[in-house]
Homo-oligomer: A and B are copies of this chain.
Amino acid sequence: MRVLILGADGYLGWPTVMHLTSKGHTVAAVDNYLRRRICREENAEPLFEVPNLHQRAARWRAVSGCQVPVFIGDLMDWNFVQEVFQHFKPEAVVHYAEQPAAPYSMLNRRAATLTLQNNLLVTANIIFAVHEFCPEAQIVKIGTMGEYGTPNIDIEEGWITVDHHGRQHRFLYPRQASSLYHTTKIMDTDLLWFYVRTWNLRVTDLMQGPVYGLQTYESEQYDDLRPFFNYDELFGTVLNRFVVQAVADYPLTIYGQGGQTRGYLDINDTMNCVRLSLEKPAQKGELRIFNQFTELFSVRELAEKVQKVGRQFGLKVTLQNLKNPRKEAETHYYNPVHTGLLELGLEPHFLTDEMLAGMIEIVSTHKDNINPEIIFKGVRW
């Protein structure tokens, strides 16, 4: 299948390029280095430098034989969108091309506006391009479990049938997020759902939980093919941050009581979820939604797991409860369904001690790069 990967330079984008090509798909990679630019602007550089997208594609070709055309440009610019779609003629589109960080979106007005504008206008352009150039192609979009927030009822997979005064209607599951970034993902869902109904698009929207991991099977032997790995407060996800904090002898920063519970997954599972969604596509006129995670953990549980494994490596690993800088529930009901991807064939990886030990080992080789000043800045909202 000819798959266009938008946001191919990112934490998930680049591993997806390698994974799909290694499974026999034909892939093109698109990015505008937005993530690199804003990480640099905010002094939130990743744990190690990664080559640029052209360099990575060349390196991947050398080791795998797979050729991946690279397009560098801004998907808010229709001229660029048109050029990419007309040139590559995709049969499917994977859409990662968004500003992906909740804390960054809450940093200031400029960051908020960038997030809103980039995420909405890029999603709209992708919809328009698929409608115009490849109406049969499925859009596989990364949403977030954060769209649902933490309601007091079970979280279904995207949809819920509401009984009210003796009548019934099936709705998009009501959404209420806890950052502007997550709110732009709700808006993406609104937009996709409208155009799915209007233009018979074929869309899979993956409500993903926080992802952890430093490498995928395809990068195991090649250090320079690993994805970005952010560990700062703005761009790092919680488990990745905790592993770096443990290695750096920096207390694990638990916001509030640490009862915030979310669904997590290994980066290898993201690869498989996206591939399975491509290989078993949604129907025309269908907005198919999966809740993409494998296990539930509270923040405190994650910290304790890292502490336990870290101590086996002789690390001190202390835990520190901080006054929560965010508006979020610190203890709450949380029971999300996640059967759809298992039914498609996902075989989950779990957060074992071995997995954590592997992460600690790799991070330890980059210990000298860790800048403790960027771990916690206290962005408040």
Residues of A within 8 A of B (CB): 78, 109, 112-113, 116-117, 120-121, 124-125, 128, 132, 151-154, 160, 162-165, 167-169, 171-180, 183, 186-187, 190-191, 193-194, 197-198, 327, 333, 381
Shortest C-beta distance, A135 to chain B (Å), equals 14
Set of chain B residues within 8 Å of A169, measured between Cβ atoms: 151-153
Set of chain B residues within 8 Å of A117, measured between Cβ atoms: 117, 120-121
- Alpha-carbon distance between A183 and B194 when the two chains are bound, in angstroms: 7
B171 and A151 within 8 A (CB): yes
Check A121/B113 contact, CB under 8 A, given A168-B152, A169-B151: yes
Set of chain B residues within 8 Å of A116, measured between Cβ atoms: 120-121, 124, 191
Given contacts A153-B168, A178-B194, 19 further A-B contacts (CB under 8 A): A112-B128, A113-B121, A113-B124, A113-B125, A116-B124, A117-B117, A160-B162, A162-B162, A163-B163, A172-B176, A173-B174, A174-B174, A176-B194, A176-B197, A180-B194, A183-B191, A187-B187, A187-B190, A198-B327
- Alpha-carbon distance between A284 and B226 when the two chains are bound, in angstroms: 48
- Alpha-carbon distance between A381 and B197 when the two chains are bound, in angstroms: 10
- Alpha-carbon distance between A162 and B116 when the two chains are bound, in angstroms: 29
Counting every copy of the chain, the complex holds 2
Set of chain B residues within 8 Å of A164, measured between Cβ atoms: 153-154, 160
Q: List 11 A-B contacts (CB under 8 A).
A: A113-B121, A116-B121, A117-B121, A153-B164, A153-B165, A153-B168, A154-B167, A160-B164, A162-B162, A173-B174, A176-B193
- Alpha-carbon distance between A121 and B120 when the two chains are bound, in angstroms: 10
* CB-CB nearest in chain B for A106: B198
Shortest C-beta distance, A147 to chain B (Å), equals 10
Shortest C-beta distance, A79 to chain B (Å), equals 12
- Alpha-carbon distance between A152 and B168 when the two chains are bound, in angstroms: 6
Set of chain B residues within 8 Å of A132, measured between Cβ atoms: 109
Set of chain B residues within 8 Å of A177, measured between Cβ atoms: 194
* CB-CB nearest in chain B for A156: B164
